[in-house]
Structures are given as structure tokens and as C-alpha cells.
Amino acid sequence: MFLGDNILEYGGSNPYFKISWKIFWRHNFRVWVGDALSICNAKALTDICGSPITKNLGTYLSVPLIHGHIKKDAYKEILEKTQKRLAAWKSASLSFVGRCTLINFVTSAIPVYVTQSIKLPSEISKSLDKINRDYLWDNTVDKKKIHLVNWDTVCLPKFLGGKGIKKMKLMN
């Protein structure tokens, strides 16, 4: 709000502000307006700053900036990033223990920052667990392998006989 106030107050009169706005801010700036601001005022704000009105604020440090209800489409980036990270390692060339270690240290670390600040929707948590399960059992679209151990058993701590893989729902 402070930046918006400065644009409205100094935007027309301060030449330094105009130059610094064009050089530093204009390309990365998007305007999101709530319901309290009229369409006329929103149009005036976009005319002054030269940036479009947006419905999607994007991400900051890989965390989606959300206003309103959380939608699962906002977390597609996390799912894609997890799949890409796992696809870089060929699961057929790793042992079962190697795949467990990779899931524990690599894929669990990707959504950790996001889960510290926002509660993931349950569908996203289930999708992340499915990605981990498919990688662990070397499942692909073409072939499905037999799951030798129940997923709940695999997710138990090591001292209880599991492999220590954390479920996303519990991490959140």
C-alpha cells in the first residue's frame, strides 16, 4: 500500500520518482486490486504506473502468493519440480534403499519451505505422496510393479521397522 500511495502522491510531480520507476520497478510490478477499490480508481492506478491489473500474484521464493481461497492449481509448480528432480535420477539404477534415501533427502526438501508458511491442500499432499510412491516402486505409466510393503509401513520411523519416509500430510 505504501508504494501505491507514493505513486499516487508523487507520480506526477517528482522527476526522480518517474525515472526510478521506469528503470527499476515497472517491469516487475503488477497491480492486484481488491473489491474495495472501484474500477475507475484501479484504471487510474494502472495508467499512472503502466502495469496491468492481475488476478494471479505469482510466487515469491517458490511460495505462491495467494489472496482468497487456496486453489490446487497454485501448487502445480511444486508437483512439477518434484517430478523433475526425481526424473533426473533413474529409479531402475538405484536399489530400494537408494530410492528411499533419495526420497527422504531430495523430494522431502522441495516443499518444506512452502509447508512452513502455508497449509497445502490435501489433494496436493496426496499427489506428492503418489509421486514418492511411484518412484519408490519404480512405477511408470506403462508398467506397474508389485508393492512389496504397505506404504504406511514404509512411512514408519526406522526404529519401528519402516524406511523413515515422511508423509506430506504429516509434514504440513
- Is residue 7 predicted with pLDDT exceeding 90? no
Average pLDDT over residues 75-95: 85
For residue 112, give its domain range.
63-171
| One domain, residues 121 and 152 | yes
- Is residue 2 predicted with pLDDT exceeding 50? no
| One domain, residues 50 and 72 | no
End residue of a domain, out of 55, 77, 98? 55
Decide which of 39 and 149 is more confident. 149
The whole-angstrom separation of Cα 98 and Cα 136 is 9
| One domain, residues 44 and 67 | no
Count of the separate structural domains present in the chain: 2
| One domain, residues 137 and 101 | yes
Decide which of 139 and 17 is more confident. 139
* Start-to-end CA span in the chain (Å): 31
End residue of a domain, out of 30, 55, 80? 55
- Rg of the chain's alpha carbons, rounded to an integer? 23
Q: What is the pTM of this model?
A: 0.67
| One domain, residues 92 and 27 | no
| One domain, residues 99 and 45 | no
What percent of the chain stands above pLDDT 70?
72
Which grid cell sits at 118?
A: 502455508
| One domain, residues 146 and 165 | yes
| One domain, residues 47 and 120 | no
| One domain, residues 49 and 76 | no
End residue of a domain, out of 12, 37, 55? 55
**Beta carbons of 170 and 112 less than 8 angstroms apart:** no
| One domain, residues 80 and 164 | yes
Predicted pLDDT at 1 = 41
| One domain, residues 28 and 80 | no
Average pLDDT over residues 65-85: 79
Question: CA angle, corner 112, sides to 60 and 148, nearest 5?
Answer: 140
The whole-angstrom separation of Cα 172 and Cα 169 is 5
| One domain, residues 68 and 150 | yes
